A and B are shown apart, each in its own frame.
Chain A
Amino acid sequence: MSNPTGHDCEACPAHAQLAQMGVSLANTDYLIALAGNPNTGKSSVFNALTGLNQHVGNWTGKTVTRAEGAYGFGGKRYKLVDLPGTYSLLSASQDEEVARNFLLFGQPDCTIVVVDATALERNLNLAMQVLEITDKVVICVNLMDEAKRKGLTVDVRSLSRDLGVPAVPTVARTKEGLPHLVQTVADVVSGAIVTQPFRPAPPDKVRVAVEELVPMIEELAPGLPNARWVAMRLLDGDHRVRQALIAGELNGMQASQSASAEGHSRLVALQGSQ
């Protein structure tokens, strides 16, 4: 059997270290978010890492709520949060709100963006939006087997170089590449891998406006990691971000406060339902 990920999984030390921890969520050391387009195998990745059996189905929009699980690796405990699959973080549907708010206010230590190797272009749109919000990202290029079947070769090194964050090829259903994925996540969390996310410049006239707003936002919320993203959202009139600015929620964002993410999703669930 050929191995599309190019790694000898059985021999890799990481293989032996991964411990599925199901729902034992107490005392986890790190918080990891799992984002991605719908139907990219996100739930398969989640199940393989945590040993849980989150329902997996071949259709869009099946995961609308957040699922949480845990895994152990290298002596550390990781809490993994499976976010609803979305195409972007821009619009107002409730599943996108849940995903976006978790990235913004949940302060994950690292975010895994699962992308479909057979439809990279569409998937990268979301990945790049995630990169705007947070630095610590690992791209999980999933469905490598399907890409191969379709005669596509994906150069993950090129992807990794262009995006400024590590990209790991995987086949989540057969667990290929997952040891490499958890190792990479551990390295990003510990700082062994320093990410430099690629953030394309907005169109010229927008850029001038962004450059004017960013210092103002940073003055309001010192240490905010994504003032540029907030500026761009304000410019396109994003209601939720305006609200966060007025309520002073941005100030709290630099402090790690995963507990409040729960409250936020609930708040949004209430607002979204009216």
Chain B
Amino acid sequence: MSASATTPQSVLDRADGLRRQLGATVRDDMVAALYEQSSIIVDRAVKGRGSQNWDLDQRIDRVVTSQIFGLPIMLLILSCIFYLTILGANVPSAMLASLLFSFEDLAAGWFDALGAPWWLTGFIWHGVYRGLAWVISVMLPPMAIFFPVFTILEDLGYLPRVAFNMDWLFRKAGAHGKQALTMAMGFGCNAAGVIATRVIDSPRERLIAILTNNFVPCNGRYPTLIMLAVIFVGAAFPPAFAAVAAAGAVVGVVLLGVIMTLIVSWVLSKTVLQGEASAFTLELPPYRRPSILRILYTSLIDRTLFVLWRAILTAAPAGAVIWILANVTWGDASLAQHSVDFLEPFGWALGLDGVIILAYIIAIPANEIVVPTMMMAYLGVGMMTEPTSYDDIRRILVDEHGWTLLTAVSLMLFSLLHNPCATTILTIWKETRSARWTTIGALLPLAIAFVVCFVVAAVWRLVA
């Protein structure tokens, strides 16, 4: 090692000395000099200023982000999306279901004719295949409508306006305004929403955004919410208003999710994550004409098929597990019956039942397969016909398994609030590298879901 006069430390010391001499404004001075230069360069290179298109953007923004109309317009747009989804998904769903389920019987028939043992036929066709058929028929049609419409809004440039309309709420909750953006991202996928929190500078506000992202329903949970809204809320109204009522119910759930996000953010910022909300700038991009091909690609390949594929990967084993539980007997009843009986009181306290809790436990890897798993559990425990329409599902749940409006409401609440899916939990771990925050991120929503469902069920039963 040669003895040099210049060491990293000596450079740092000298720099610090100079920095003190220059005073606190040194950064501002440098940035100002930069701005001045770029302004000169731009003046030389750019000719012409403004035109009608720009004015049009601003005029639209004045309405869409106005204090009076901003939030109502947002709600209206959201309601329209769900209305279109609900209206459009019903018929294709039923068609897909009857097609896929008739193939199940056909294939099972072939297996029987070939002399395959009953358990093989059952495991493959009434277990794994039935799980897949459920997932595809319940999830594919709503997604194929919802995602393209949502992507149009995103491409158009509406999402930043949503964030703009809501950032004051987040600041009031002691969180970062950009959390409105990461929340909007969470509507697509909570794992993506958690990654998106990287745009938030302050670690405190970023943690709040990570921990609360789960409270907005993701792509995977919409099919559950939509189906429940159609079957129970929609059906309680005359047919002409059914779709409107169902859409209203989904919007209500989404709103509740946003409110929970704000409340939990506020509580966190007042307790374990105390601090002031920091300022930031949010850019409103120009409205751009969406490109149809790209929207179809993004919404159908990136989103629909991605979510569906993930659901299929988890639905097949879930179907297998349900079939085994339903067909392996221990003592006088099947394993499924034992688990359901064991979970029943717990489910009842939450306004649910044992089968739903069992389905949630089996579906821990992915939220989106809860309803299919639940249906398989119901059907596996002594049901022979395959329901092929929302009416059939309603009949089975209400007439044969004693569902009430409370069950549906509790399930919607539970679905909205419960723990994040395995992917999201893994993402929280990757982003925070903290076992403590990952555990809180997983258990806090679950605890809130338990408390809310318990209170709702208790009050409901008291009043009814």
Contacts and interface: CB of A to CB of B under 8 A. Distances in A.
B12 interface: yes
Interface string A45-69: 0000000010111111110110000
Contacts of B48: 151-153
A39 B39 CA distance: 21
Contacts of A38: 283
Interface string A251-263: 0000000000000
Interface string B403-415: 0000000000000
Interface stretch (A11-19, A154-162, A183-191): A154-162
Interface in A107-138: 118, 120-121, 124-125, 127-129
A59 B160 contact: yes
Interface string B30-42: 1111110111011
Contacts of B160: 58-60
B433 A58 contact: no
B157 interface: yes
B285 interface: yes
A153 B46 contact: yes
Contacts of B41: 124, 159, 162-163
Interface stretch (B18-26, B343-351, B355-363, B418-426): B18-26
B130 interface: no
A216 interface: yes
A95 B431 CA distance: 13
B39 to A, nearest CB: 6
Contacts of B30: 202-203, 206, 232, 235-236
B201 interface: yes
B271 interface: no
Nearest to A203: B29
Interface string B241-267: 000000000000000000000000000
B200 interface: yes
Contacts of B34: 125, 128-129, 200
B147 to A, nearest CB: 12
Contacts of B155: 56-58
A39 B51 contact: no
A46 to B, nearest CB: 14
B283 A39 contact: yes
B195 A159 contact: no
Interface residues of A, number: 71
Contacts of B286: 118, 146
A9 interface: no
A242 B14 CA distance: 12
Nearest to A41: B288
Contacts of A242: 12
Given A53-B302, A213-B18, A274 B45 contact: no
Interface string A167-205: 000000100000000000000000000000010111101
Contacts of A65: 195, 198
A158 B302 CA distance: 41
A59 B195 contact: no
A57 B433 contact: no
Given A150-B50, A200-B37, A209-B21, A60 B283 contact: yes
A200 B33 contact: yes
Contacts of B291: 173
Contacts, number: 191
A273 B195 CA distance: 11
Contacts of B14: 212-213, 216
B60 interface: no
Contacts of A272: 198, 203
B461 interface: no
A234 B54 contact: no
A56 B159 CA distance: 13
Contact of B294 (A56, A93, A149): A56
A4 B285 CA distance: 21
Interface string B279-291: 0011101101001
A155 B47 contact: yes
A153 B51 CA distance: 12
A128 B206 CA distance: 29
Contact of B33 (A94, A146, A202, A236): A202
A60 B282 CA distance: 8
Contacts of A124: 38, 41-42
Interface of B: 4, 6-12, 14-15, 18-19, 21-22, 26-27, 29-35, 37-39, 41-42, 44-51, 53-54, 154-157, 159-160, 178, 181, 195-196, 198-201, 203, 206, 281-283, 285-286, 288, 291, 294, 297-298, 301-302, 431-434
19 contacts: A39-B283, A59-B154, A91-B201, A93-B199, A150-B51, A152-B49, A173-B291, A200-B37, A203-B32, A209-B19, A212-B14, A216-B6, A231-B15, A236-B27, A245-B8, A246-B9, A273-B206, A273-B431, A274-B433
Given A56-B294, A93-B198, A150-B51, 8 more contacts: A118-B286, A120-B42, A150-B50, A151-B48, A152-B48, A203-B29, A220-B11, A273-B206
Nearest 3 CB-CB pairings of A with B: A151-B51, A124-B38, A234-B15
